[in-house]
Amino acid sequence: MGSDVATRRGRPRSTSWIGRFGSWVNEFTVERLAAELDLDPMQIYRWARGDYQPKIQKAIAIVEVARAAGRTLTLEDIYEREVARIRVRMRSSLPPL
Domains, the chain, ordered by start: 15-93 (1.10.260)
> Residue 61 in contact with residue 1, Cβ under 8 Å?
no
**Residue 74 to residue 54: CA distance in whole angstroms:** 13
pLDDT averaged per 10 residues, the chain (length 97) = 42 63 92 96 90 94 97 92 82 75
pLDDT at site 19? 86
Looking at residue 2, its pLDDT comes to 42
CA distances from 81 to 5, 41, 46, 50, 92 (A): 33, 21, 13, 8, 17
> 3-state SS of 20-51?
HHHHHHHHHCHHHHHHHHCCCHHHHHHHHHCC
Q: What is the pLDDT of residue 16?
A: 62
List Cβ neighbours of 9 (8 Å cut-off, separation of 6 or more): none
The whole-model pTM stands at: 0.73
Residues 6 or more apart in contact with residue 2 via CB below 8 angstroms: none
